[in-house]
Amino acid sequence: MYLDAAKKQEIFGQYGKSNTDTGSAESQIALFSYRISRLTEHMKQNRKDYSTERALTGLVGKRRALLNYLKARDIERYRAIVKALGLRK
């Protein structure tokens, strides 16, 4: 499995306040970004997997909503997470 408990704790520890910080916007955005990158690689190999394509679209929307929320609440945290994840070019 590509996303086990250890990998989640690593992501939460790196982008959240602690390893158990699963609720902060930054940690959720980081987790969604990891899942999106994995699903994108899957879609490159399996172009006709429409159920995965739908899940990928949903994840992108959830991440976008969290980014919009963070941008409206605290622009500095938004800029920091975008820079850390490399979401803008």
19, 13 in Cβ contact below 8 A? yes
pLDDT in tens, 22-81: 899 999 999 999 999 999 999 999 999 999 999 999 999 999 999 999 999 999 999 999
pTM equals 0.92
Alpha helices for 1-89 (secondary structure H): 5-15, 25-45, 50-73, 75-85
**Would you say residue 65 lies in a domain?**
yes
What span, in angstroms and rounded, lies between the C-alpha atoms of 59 and 61? 5
Residues spanned by the domain of 71: 25-85
CATH code of residue 48: 1.10.287.10
8 Cα distance to chain centroid: 11
18 Cα distance to chain centroid: 17
**Would you say residue 62 lies in a domain?**
yes
